[in-house]
Chain A
Amino acid sequence: MGAFLARRFAQGIIVVALVATIVFLLIHAAPGDPFSASLENPAITESVRETWRREYGLHRPLPEQYARYVGNVFRGNLGFSFSLQRPVADVIGDALPNTMLLMSVGLIGAFALGIGTAVAQVRNRGRRVDRFLGSISLTLFSVPDFWLALLMLVAFAYWIPIFPIGGATDAVMHNMLGPAGKLGDRVKHLVLPAATLALLYFPLIARHQRAALLDVLPSGYINTARAKGVGETAVITRHALRNALLPVITLLGVAFPALLTGAVFIEKVFSWPGMGLVIVNSIQSRDYPLLMASVLMGSVFVIVGSVVADILYRAMDPRMRDEF
């Protein structure tokens, strides 16, 4: 297990280094330099740009710039965002927890819905419920993230105004509320984006869980359970599920990058102040330092997440546990 941990960890670092290098190359290989985009901003004069260029060492040879870049990243200096007039590290520091919150709740929702759907499908296999749930699953799997988010927003924030239109908290009221009110406000704002995430990603989980359950059903102990008089629902939820859950947990590693992808679009639509919104806005404002650093950090986040998920899965598998 220790050897595996070390290997996985090393692998993670290599991937992060790879992404960082690609990002670096992109910044420098793109036509113009990182600051030419700010040409569109009249407030930034050419002399300001020159100062920046000197500060960022853009006159130095490329390998030296790369070394500085790596050094900076490790030291936590991710540059300065001129569109937000704050250090990038600060911006990310504020945004990342929000994305983590959204993604965690979304993940939990996706797994709960996915496993529940799979159980319902297997319990009623061959019947209309099975096919119906399968169709819903397939449809949601084929829907583009941003479009569903738009539909959810229109449906539940405009037509039936139950939920707020966007943001993580109410801009006006939040600070005037008591602790319970504050919590309620946060929850209210979290529901739609998290629900959208869950709806988008549960089909993947449902499909794998359904296959895993069907794989397990012909096993001898399932028949034993039925012969004991255990009801069919309990056979599936108690006997089959416990054995079919493990392969689905591996999906956690895959779900992470997928959910971040979804988060980018969902945060934009719901104005959720997370990494996704930062990235999208920085595209539009051509704030390259912010954009590139966000992409890098986003990737790091995802890679860390999938490594952790991998380790968790290994720890949970009883066969692996014995190797401890």
Chain B
Amino acid sequence: MSEPLLSVENLRTWFHTPSGIAKSVDGVSFDIRAGETLGIVGESGCGKSVTALSLLRLIQPPGRIEAGSRIVFEGKDLVTVDEAGMRAVRGNRIAMIFQEPMSALNPVFTVGDQVAEVARVHGTGSRSDAWDRAVEMLAQTGIPSPGDRARQYPHQLSGGMRQRVLIAMALMMNPALIIADEPTTALDVTIQAQILELLADLKRRFGTAILMITHDLGVIAETAERVLVMYGGEIVEEAEVRTLFDDAHHPYTEGLMYAMPNITESRERLNVIPGTVPPPTAWPSGCRFRDRCRYSWERCEREHPPLYQIGVSHTSRCHLAEEPERRAHPHAPLVEQIGASL
């Protein structure tokens, strides 16, 4: 097997607040191979966005990447490389697309200016070279009359178009990896589909690897090749996308699947995983999902489960891997039914 493009080892990003240490990312390890699309799925608060920000070292104090973490990319450990080295990677070798297209763009600069800025920061060409390339990238992302659009301000563009601008920004220096943090969450469903199609198309053409971060399993199903499920600051399941949907192992993943609203099924009530995500300042002992899990037993409180190997490239952080017979004895409804009258 060839060297992975990006290798994350035991990433821990903790926030040192006056009211305690929030261990938002607490021991996450994964690889991304060149050209592959890896998805990270989970609820808000599970640490997926913080993971993404950590990869580019965009975590601001009081957050900090703890010692012992390693992020190996193109031969360097991004955790320890100096600031200049990190800046050379950002936008250039690894690019990021943020969630809210409106607030992600500076309202006082033109769209073209902001896209061209990437080239000005990393390239050696002139300002007009940067501008030309920006216009070209805007065209690549399917924006009509890119030359005119480039001279406009963010508030003059629609949500979908702003997202395309952010994608163009990410592609400017032809990076090896694009991190997409909830790229479609703030958009209409129809626009969502267009953006995902665009990303897939660009991936085909440029061979970029994509790290797709989302809470939407539908997006995962459509774009990812492999998936990581995150909960409580950790990876709780890792599998190829097909395997995940057909053969989910971890009870949390099961819950996510079951909770997805299904347009074909007729159901009066929403399915929800009972309970709420615990605060990152106080992860429960043992398995972090045990309070909301319908299979949990005393071992789950005692012993923090490691990532068990379930199949060829399928791991799951659940003791059911060793005691599968427990699955036959659920003790609380998997999902809580929310009344239709609400």
Task: Tell me whether chain A's interface is mostly helix, strand or loop, or mixed.
Answer: helix
- How extensive is the interface on chain B, given as a class? 20 to 34
Counting CB contacts under 8 A, is B271 at the interface? no
Closest to A234 in B: B121
Q: Is A2 among interface residues, defined by CB-CB distance under 8 A?
A: no
* Segment at the interface with B among A5-13, A16-24, A153-161, A222-230: A222-230
Report yes or no: A231 in contact with B87, Cβ–Cβ below 8 A. yes
Contact check: which of B58, B89, B90, B104 meets A221 at CB < 8 Å? B104
A-B contacts, CB under 8 A, total: 67
Chain B residues lying within 8 Å of A230, measured Cβ to Cβ, are 87, 91, 117, 121
A239 beta carbon closer than 8 Å to chain B: yes
Q: Across the interface, do B88 and A229 meet the contact criterion of CB distance under 8 Å?
A: yes
Per the bound structure, the CA–CA distance linking A318 and B108 in Å amounts to 9
CA A219 – CA B89 in complex, angstroms?
22
Q: A220 in the interface, Cβ–Cβ < 8 Å?
A: yes
Does A126 count as interface, using CB distance less than 8 angstroms? yes
Q: Is A227 a contact partner of B106 (Cβ separation < 8 A)?
A: no
Q: At the interface, yes or no: B122 with Cβ under 8 Å from chain A?
A: yes
User: B107 — which chain A residues lie within 8 A by C-beta?
Assistant: 221, 243
Counting contact residues on chain A (CB < 8 A from B), the size range is 10 to 19
| CB–CB B90/A223 < 8 A | no
Q: How far is the CA of A224 from the CA of B101 in the complex (A)?
A: 10
**A229 and B87 contact, CB distance less than 8 A:** yes
Q: Does B339 contact A (CB under 8 A)?
A: no
Name the residue on B nearest A243 (C-beta): B108
Q: Give the distance in Å from the alpha carbon of A226 to the alpha carbon of B56 in the complex.
A: 9
**Alpha-carbon distance A224/B56, docked complex (angstroms):** 11
* CB <8 Å contact, A225 and B106: yes
B93-123 to A contact mask, C-beta < 8 Å, 1/0: 0011011101111111100001001100110
- Please state if A228 and B106 are interface contacts (CB–CB under 8 Å): no
Tell me whether A229 and B91 are in contact (CB under 8 A). Answer: yes
Distance between A104 CB and nearest chain B CB, rounded to angstroms: 27
Interface string of A203-225 (1 = CB under 8 A from B): 00000000000000001110111
Task: Give the CA-CA distance A126 to B118 in the complex, in Å.
Answer: 29
Q: Chain A contacts of B106 at CB under 8 A?
A: 221, 224-225, 239, 242-243
**Nearest-Cβ distance from residue B232 to partner chain A, whole angstroms:** 25
B92 at the A interface (CB under 8 A): yes
- Chain A residues, Cβ within 8 Å of B56: 226-227
* Interchain Cβ contacts under 8 Å between A and B, 6 examples: A220-B99, A220-B103, A227-B58, A228-B91, A229-B90, A229-B91
